A and B are shown apart, each in its own frame.
Chain A
Amino acid sequence: QKEVEQNSGPLSVPEGAIASLNCTYSDRGSQSFFWYRQYSGKSPELIMSIYSNGDKEDGRFTAQLNKASQYVSLLIRDSQPSDSATYLCAVPGVSNQAGTALIFGKGTTLSVSS
């Protein structure tokens, strides 16, 4: 069973700062990695995907992947109060020894203060 580990936080940063969210995963064979954002009381939504070692940028968001270290991170530049949410790291996997699922980490709560 794949495992995805995240620091639960909360991670508190001031407005305009860089927020760094980290995730480690157990299966060295994992090929694709995803970041979901979940606002309080809302459902998760996909914000980033990354498949290759290195960085992938999308606006203020940068995903970083290091397969050798089994480590994926999400950087949020110029953090805004609207970025305050729980960020979930996810990898595709199988559940119950068969099938298809996204395996989610427990999430890191980010709080951006104005």
Chain B
Amino acid sequence: EAQVTQNPRYLITVTGKKLTVTCSQNMNHEYMSWYRQDPGLGLRQIYYSMNVEVTDKGDVPEGYKVSRKEKRNFPLILESPSPNQTSLYFCASSLRGLAVWDTGELFFGEGSRLTVL
């Protein structure tokens, strides 16, 4: 089954404790992206990757890191989480970056709800 898998789905942590949210897709997609979704603010892009070893900042990158060492994986790293990073996080992928413009089709993972105390 074609899917984007995120882990953990739910996490409660404390300020300053480093954490990683993993994302893996099995569709051989080149493009991957992380969004956060907050009430009243909608979905906002954190980071994206056009392909292996190619990553760049989105609109709200502060406090986050990413890496793309393999095509299928795109982990999101919070080096020192703070309460303002409490949010619902979505990983998404698309066949190619250009496909986002052409078809608008992003395949989303199920989401990871993160609470930072």
B residues 12-64 near A (Cβ < 8 Å) are: 31, 33, 40-43, 45, 48, 50, 56-59, 61
The 0/1 profile, CB within 8 Å of A marked 1, for residues 84-113 of chain B is 000000100000011011111110111100
Query: Measured between alpha carbons, how far is A90 from B103 in the docked complex, in Å?
Result: 11
Binds B, one of A15-23, A54-62, A74-82, A94-102: A94-102
Q: How many A-B residue pairs have CB under 8 A?
A: 69
Q: How many residues of A contact B (CB 8 A)?
A: 24
Q: Which residue of A lies closest to B110 (CB)?
A: A43
Q: How many residues of B contact A (CB 8 A)?
A: 28
Query: Measured between alpha carbons, how far is A110 from B41 in the docked complex, in Å?
Result: 18
Whether B110 contacts A101 by the Cβ 8 Å rule is no
Query: Measured between alpha carbons, how far is A106 from B40 in the docked complex, in Å?
Result: 7
Whether A106 contacts B42 by the Cβ 8 Å rule is yes
Give chain B's interface residues, CB within 8 Å of chain A: 31, 33, 40-43, 45, 48, 50, 56-59, 61, 90, 97-98, 100-106, 108-111
Give chain A's interface residues, CB within 8 Å of chain B: 1, 32-34, 42-46, 49, 88, 90, 92, 95-96, 98-102, 104-107
